[in-house]
Amino acid sequence: MPAVRGRGWRSDDDALPAQPPLSSGNYLAEMAIFGAPALVALALVFGLVWLRSRSSSKEMRDIPGTMGWPVIGETVSFISDFSSPAGILSFMRDRQKRFGKVFKTYVLGRITVFMTGREAAKILLSGKDGVVSLNLFYTGKQVLGPTSLLTTNGEEHKKLRRLIGEPLSIDALKKYFDFINELAVQTLDTWHGRRVLVLEEASSFTLKVIANMLISLEPEGEEQQKFRANFKVISSSFASLPLKLPGTAFHRGLKARNRMYEMLDSVIARRREGGEVRNDFLQTLLGKHAKDGSADDTADKLTDSQLKDNILTLLVAGHDTTTAGLTWLIKFLGENPEVLEKLREEHLEIKEKLNGTAHLRWSDVSNMPYTNKVMNETLRRATILPWFSRKAAQDFSIDGYEIKKGTSVNLDVVSIHHDPAVFADPERFDPDRFEQTFKPYSFLGFGSGPRMCPGMSLARLEICVFIHHLVCRYSWKPLEDDSSVQPTLVRMPKNKYPIIATTL
C-alpha cells in the first residue's frame, strides 16, 4: 500500500499528528531545509508522544516487550533491519525469541503490539465482530481524503468495496487486456542491449495501465507526464513528516493532490456533459453517481468526493505494490535459473500455439499455472507489505493477553510467510511448494477477509502478461549484486534491480 499505505502508522487522534514515516529520506531532507526549528519542533512532538505512550504502556503492563530508548524507542534497529536483505524478520525473530508471539515495542513514534501466527491473523483479518479497524497513518489519511476505502470502516467500507470491487472483477478486466498486452510489448521493445532499471520500467508500465483503466489516460503525452509528476509527489508525501509547512513533502503532496483532483473534476465534467463516453472504471462509477451531500447511505451511489478519493486510493494502493511485485519476481527469476527455465517452457508453449505472434489472448492468461505459483512464491518471499496495521475497536484477548480498545496492533506477516512449519526451508525460492493448498491465514500475499486486496486480479493480469513477453524474448543479467531494500512502506530493491537484457 505506498507507500501505499501507511499500514504502519496513524495518530490515535488526528489532532496530534504524531507518526513519523518509515522512510527517513524525506525526513532528513526536510530537517536539513528547516534546520534547528524543525529539529526542536520534532523533538517536542516526539517527546509528547513518548510521554503519552508511557501512560498507555501502563495499560499494557502485562504484555511482554521493551520500549527501548527514551523518545526514539526501538526505531533505529527497526529501520535498519527493514532496509537489510532479511527485512524486519530479524527484528521480529529476536523479540519473538525473548517475549513470544505477542510483544509490545515503541517504534516510529508509537507504542504498538506486534503479533504473529494464524490465530492472530484470524482475529485481526476476519473482521469478525468488528474487533479491529484499519490503522492508517496521519499523512496518508489526509492525502487520501475522508471517503477513501482506506479511511472508512464498517457499513460505509462495505458499500464502497461493493461498488469498487465490481469494475475490478475478472470479467470487468477483460476489456483492458489488449491495452495491457500492447503496452507490455512496447515497454519491452526498448530493452535489448541497454542498462535497464527494472523497477523504473515496472513503475512506468503499472502507472500507465492503472491510469488508462481508471480514466482512459493515454500512455504518452503531456497529460500522462503531468499525471505522473503529480502522482510521484503524492506518493512520496506518504513518507514525510506530518508538517503542513510550505516546502515540506506533506505540503507538496496535498498541493499535488489538489491538482490531481482538478484534473479529475474536468474529466468528470466532460463525461457528464455527454461530450465524452469511455469504457473505463470512471464511466462505470459515474453510472452510480449521487450529487455531493445527497448520497443516501443505503443507495448504491457515489458522490464526486467519494469518486475522487477512491480513484486516488486505487492509484496509491495499486501502483507501488504491483511495481514491487513485478520487480521482485524478475529478480527472483534472475537468481533461480531452473525456475526461469521451467517458467519459460510454460510461456514458449503458449507462444507456439499462437504461431509466433505477439497476440497473447485473454484465455491464455487463465492457463498459466506455473506462473501463478511463481507469483505466489514471490509474494511470500518478498512479503511486499511486511505487516498489516490495525487498531483495536474493542477489548480483546490473544494468547492470554488483554488488548485494550484503541491499542495499535500490527500483524507481523513476514514471520507468517517464513514459518518453517508451513514453508519448509523458508529462504528457498521454491514455487512448487504452492502445488499444495495451505491452511487459511498461512499465505497472505493479498491479505484476507473484508480488507483483502480488491486489485488482486488486475495485479495478476498485469504480471502474467508482462512476464510472458519478457521470458519469451529476453535473457538478462544483473549488473549489481546488492540485496538491500528501500526504506519505504512497500518493500522494493534499493538499487532498482539494474540488468542488461539480450534478445533470445
Q: Which residues are annotated as a binding site for heme?
A: 453
Answer for which of 20, 109, 253, 455 binds ligand HEM (CB under 6 A) is 455
Q: Is 451 in the site for ligand HEM (CB under 6 A)?
A: yes
Phi and psi at residue 325, to the nearest 5°: -60, -45
- Residue 233 found at the interface with ligand HEM (CB under 6 A): no
Helix ranges (DSSP H) in 176-303: 177-189, 198-215, 222-237, 249-272, 281-286
Q: Which CB atom, from 152 or from 336, has the smaller least distance to ligand HEM?
A: 152
Helices 75-82/89-99 angle, 10° precision: 130
Taking CB under 6 A as the rule, does residue 231 contact ligand HEM?
Answer: no
**Interface of this chain with ligand HEM, residues 199 to 218, rule: CB under 6 A:** 210
Residue among 2, 23, 140, 15 at smallest CA distance from 75 = 23
Please choose, out of 32-40, 106-114, 173-181, 316-324, the segment that lies near ligand HEM by the rule CB under 6 A.
316-324
Is 396 within 8 Å of 405 (Cβ atoms)?
no
Q: Which is nearer to ligand HEM, 83 or 322 (CB)?
A: 322
Q: Least separation, in Å, of the C-beta of 150 and ligand HEM?
A: 5
Interface with ligand HEM, residue 73, by CB under 6 A: no
List 197's β-bridge partners, or say none.
498
> Do the Cβ atoms of 188 and 181 come closer than 8 Å?
no
- Which amino acids are annotated as binding site, given as ranges? 453
Residues facing residue 81 across a β-bridge: none
**Does 167 engage in binding with ligand HEM (CB under 6 A)?**
no
Q: Note whether 159 binds ligand HEM by CB under 6 A.
A: no
Burial of residue 95, with CB atoms counted within 10 A of its CB: 0-12 exposed, 13-18 middle, 19 or more buried: buried
Task: Using CB under 6 A, pick the residue from 139, 321, 327, 407 that binds ligand HEM.
Answer: 321
- Binding string, residues 384-403; x marks residues near ligand HEM by CB under 6 A: xx--x---------------
The three cell numbers of residue 464 are 502474467
Contacts with 429 (C-beta within 8 Å, 6 or more apart), sequence order: 332, 335, 336, 339, 377, 381
CB distance 108 to 78 below 8 Å: yes
Closer residue to ligand HEM (CB): 134 or 239: 134
329 CA to centre of own chain? 16
Q: Which of 453, 464, 492, 499 binds ligand HEM (CB under 6 A)?
A: 453
Asked if 379 is part of the footprint of ligand HEM (rule: CB under 6 A), the reply reads yes
Question: Which of the ranges 233-241, 253-261, 352-360, 381-389 carries the binding residues for ligand HEM, by CB under 6 A?
Answer: 381-389
Minimum Å gap between C-beta 89 and ligand HEM is 17
Asked if 314 interacts with ligand HEM (CB under 6 A), we say yes
104-143 residues near ligand HEM, rule: CB under 6 A: 134
464 binds ligand HEM (CB under 6 A): no
What is the number of other CB atoms lying within 10 angstroms of the CB of residue 421? Answer: 7
Q: Which is nearer to ligand HEM, 107 or 375 (CB)?
A: 375
Which residue, chain included where needed, has cell 450529487?
291
Helix axes 456-473, 369-382, angle to 10 degrees: 110
Coil, helix or strand for 488?
A: coil
**Count of residues that interact with ligand HEM, criterion CB under 6 A:** 27
Give the C-alpha separation, 112 to 411, whole Å.
Answer: 11
* Cα(433)–Cα(3) distance, integer angstroms: 29
Asked if 445 is part of the footprint of ligand HEM (rule: CB under 6 A), the reply reads yes
Q: Which stretch binds ligand HEM (CB under 6 A): 282-290, 331-339, 351-359, 444-452?
A: 444-452
Q: Which of residues 324-353 bind ligand HEM (CB under 6 A)?
A: 325
Residue 111 or 317: which CB sits closer to ligand HEM? 317
Question: How many angstroms separate the CA atoms of 7 and 410, rounded?
Answer: 9
Q: In angstroms, how far is the first alpha carbon of the chain from the final one?
A: 35
**Shortest CB 463 distance to ligand HEM, Å:** 7
Residues 170, 171, 173, 174, CA torsion sign: positive
Contact residues: ligand HEM, CB under 6 A: 1, 7, 134, 149-150, 161, 210, 313-314, 317-318, 321-322, 325, 379, 384-385, 388, 445-447, 451, 453-455, 458-459
